[in-house]
């Protein structure tokens, strides 16, 4: 059982308000099309918020909550490093505060790039992996805007 499987029952209670604040902040800067993917979707809050068609997460327990709360959205158990989708399948891909948790950040970001056309990527600015993540995002993606939110760094690509 993973850390996120263990904390799944109280995840929304702990993080929902903070997540919604962050999502509303990001929404001011973007216009998303209708065919979206949420990588590291957790309980589905950001998946629903951005009207994504699909959410992926490696935590079975978080996905159970997502499926219960948002039955109209398809949720898939998968790691960012191996997304079960075709090249350019999605108009946009969001990954909100998940990148620092990827097992292989470079591989995960390359997979996100492979399956999407536009991207919204964020990670915790206090992450010990911050420098690596920023360098990889700036190398792999065509960055349109970098924004510092209260707790995250957000890239629009």
What DSSP state is assigned to residue 101? G
Q: Which residues are paired to 153 by β-bridges? A: 123, 148
pLDDT of residue 94: 95
Q: Which residues are paired to 147 by β-bridges? A: 154
- Alpha helices of the chain — where are they, by DSSP H? 3-27, 45-49, 60-69, 105-115, 130-140
Is the model's pLDDT at 10 over the cut of 90?
A: no
User: How far, in Å, CA of 96 to CA of 83, rounded?
Assistant: 16
User: How far, in Å, CA of 52 to CA of 55, rounded?
Assistant: 7
Domains of the chain with CATH codes: 3-156 (3.40.50.150)
pLDDT of residue 15: 60
Is the model's pLDDT at 8 over the cut of 90?
A: no
pLDDT of residue 101: 94
Mean pLDDT across the chain: 89
pLDDT of residue 154: 93
Least confident span in 33-42, 51-60, 103-112: 33-42
């Amino acid at each position: 059982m993973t850390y996120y499987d263990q904390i799944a029952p109280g995840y929304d209670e702990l993080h929902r308000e903070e997540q919604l604040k962050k999502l509303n902040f990001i929404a001011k800067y973007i216009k998303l099309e209708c065919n979206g993917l949420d990588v590291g979707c957790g309980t589905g809050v950001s998946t629903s918020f951005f009207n994504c068609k699909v959410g992926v997460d490696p935590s079975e327990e978080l996905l159970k909550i997502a499926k219960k709360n948002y039955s109209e959205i398809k949720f898939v158990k998968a790691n960012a490093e191996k997304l079960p989708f075709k090249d350019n399948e999605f108009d946009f891909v969001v990954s909100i505060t998940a990148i620092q948790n990827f097992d292989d950040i470079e591989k995960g970001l390359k997979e996100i790039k492979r399956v999407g056309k536009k991207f919204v990527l964020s990670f915790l600015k206090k992450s010990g992996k911050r420098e690596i993540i920023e360098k990889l995002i700036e190398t792999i993606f065509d960055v349109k805007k970098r924004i510092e939110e209260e707790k995250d760094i957000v890239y629009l690509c």
